[in-house]
């Protein structure tokens, strides 16, 4: 896999360089609530611009249905990228139409443009190779070289991720090179004990990675909404908590296999419960109660791991050589249900090992809860991509960057 350093050594002055970034940031209207993914691509864009390239940045945002939708415009992300670069960033109001062509043609050496949301064109996500390829052809006409730096999208077989690199000289940006290096430390060069903390809402999103980790990790700590499916599999009352009934047999089998493999697979020993899901707009006090995980009231729902579980998980992280964390431990966006996630984040900071925050909601939690990002070994920009890499899957966007 060639990297951006090789492209820079070849010389990029006057060349149009297409950077596939991941600017898929959360928005409140037109206000960006977490700019972490934009900041992550700045080093690549800045290096190219300072070397005289004419930089064309492209990304998706959200899930529009293959047609323009103002709610998913990349305009706010383009403006924020300009602020971070300290330079004007041009914005094209389409992907491969008149605005994109004119905007790119108008770039001078060292200038940057962002084209509109790639998913406004149905060809970006099409399962039809010909339709996807036709869109990639039009994107290729905007550039002389391709830099893949949108790690959060490399697990998608999309036109700008998979098909476009085949049409242009292609290189990995700084972000992707860093992400791959980190993930190799979680698969090929693991320092033990290797501890994995998994949370989030759906256990189905994590089953494949748990399957792989049962042969690799020393300890797996379960939290978040998915924990209640584990508790259900153990035969416990879970009240009105989130549960995936169809996954209970698989979870039960994993619990049994963990014991046979000598892997500590830990589930909450206590939990915070309430009568209903909290009001996330007002953040009004929710008055939760802490109960033992095997004594949940029938009419209550679990919304965070309890203090005893937080202490237990912190103890299991205290001597870790390597830690991977993906998924919050509770509804961290509400102050009454943030303590479990805070405890795990702090335990990673206190751990002597190499710590990786696996993107998505975990990365958002780190920033939302006010932790210093530099206190972690690495904060990934791609939760889904990280999980699929750990599952052993071939990621289309990484395969496309190989020579």
193 preceded by a cis bond (ω within 30 of 0): yes
* Cα 131 to Cα 371: distance, rounded to the nearest angstrom: 44
Phi, psi of 195 (to 5 degrees): -115, 130
CA within 13 Å, CB half, 346 = 12
What is the per-residue DSSP string for 268-299?
Answer: -SEEEEESS---TTT------EEEETT---TT
Contact 32, 165 (CB under 8 A): no
* Cα 303 to Cα 340: distance, rounded to the nearest angstrom: 10
Burial environment of residue 394 by CB neighbours within 10 A (0 to 12, 13 to 18, 19 or more): exposed
Q: CA nearest 59: which of 147, 133, 137, 141?
A: 147
- DSSP code of 344? H
Straight-line distance from the first to the last Cα atom of the chain, in angstroms, rounded to the nearest whole number? 6
Q: CA nearest 150: which of 136, 135, 165?
A: 165
H-type alpha helices, 281-379: 307-317, 339-350, 360-368
Catalytic residue IDs: 37, 202, 360, 384
Q: CA nearest 10: which of 178, 170, 179?
A: 170
């Amino acid at each position: 896999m060639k990297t951006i350093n090789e492209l820079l050594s070849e010389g990029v002055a006057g060349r149009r360089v297409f950077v596939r970034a991941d600017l898929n940031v959360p928005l409140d209207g037109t206000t960006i609530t977490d700019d972490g993914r934009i900041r992550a691509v700045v080093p690549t864009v800045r290096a190219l611009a300072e070397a005289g390239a004419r930089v064309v940045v492209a990304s998706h945002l959200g899930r529009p249905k293959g047609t323009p939708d103002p709610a998913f415009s990349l305009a706010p992300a383009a403006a924020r990228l300009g602020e971070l670069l300290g330079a004007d960033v041009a914005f094209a109001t389409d992907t491969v139409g008149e605005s994109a062509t004119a905007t790119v043609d108008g770039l001078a050496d060292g200038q940057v443009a962002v084209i509109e949301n790639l998913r406004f064109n149905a060809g970006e996500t099409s399962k039809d190779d010909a339709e996807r390829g036709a869109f990639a052809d039009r994107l290729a006409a905007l550039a002389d070289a391709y830099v893949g730096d949108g790690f959060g999208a490399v697990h998608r077989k999309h036109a700008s991720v998979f098909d476009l690199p085949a049409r242009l000289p292609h290189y990995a940006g700084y972000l992707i090179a860093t992400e791959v290096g980190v993930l190799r430390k979680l698969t090929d060069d693991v320092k033990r004990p290797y501890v994995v903390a998994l949370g989030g809402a759906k256990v189905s999103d994590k089953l494949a990675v748990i399957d792989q980790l049962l042969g690799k990790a020393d300890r797996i700590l379960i939290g978040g909404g998915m924990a209640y499916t584990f508790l259900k599999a153990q035969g416990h009352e879970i009240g009105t908590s989130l549960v995936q009934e169809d996954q209970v047999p698989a979870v039960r089998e994993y619990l049994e296999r963990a014991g046979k493999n000598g892997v500590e697979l830990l589930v909450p020993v206590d939990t915070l419960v309430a009568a209903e899901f909290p009001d996330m707009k007002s953040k009004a006090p929710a008055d939760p109660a802490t109960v033992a995980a095997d004594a949940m009231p029938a009419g209550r729902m679990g919304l965070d791991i309890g203090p005893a579980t937080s202490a237990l998980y912190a103890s299991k992280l205290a001597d870790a050589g390597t830690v991977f964390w993906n998924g919050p431990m509770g509804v961290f966006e509400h102050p009454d249900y943030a303590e479990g996630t805070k405890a795990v984040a702090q335990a990673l900071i206190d751990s002597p090992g190499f710590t990786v925050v696996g993107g998505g909601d975990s990365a958002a939690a780190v920033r939302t809860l006010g932790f210093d990002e530099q206190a972690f070994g690495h904060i990934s920009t791609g939760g889904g991509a990280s999980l699929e890499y750990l599952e052993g899957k071939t990621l289309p966007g990484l395969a496309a960057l190989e020579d």
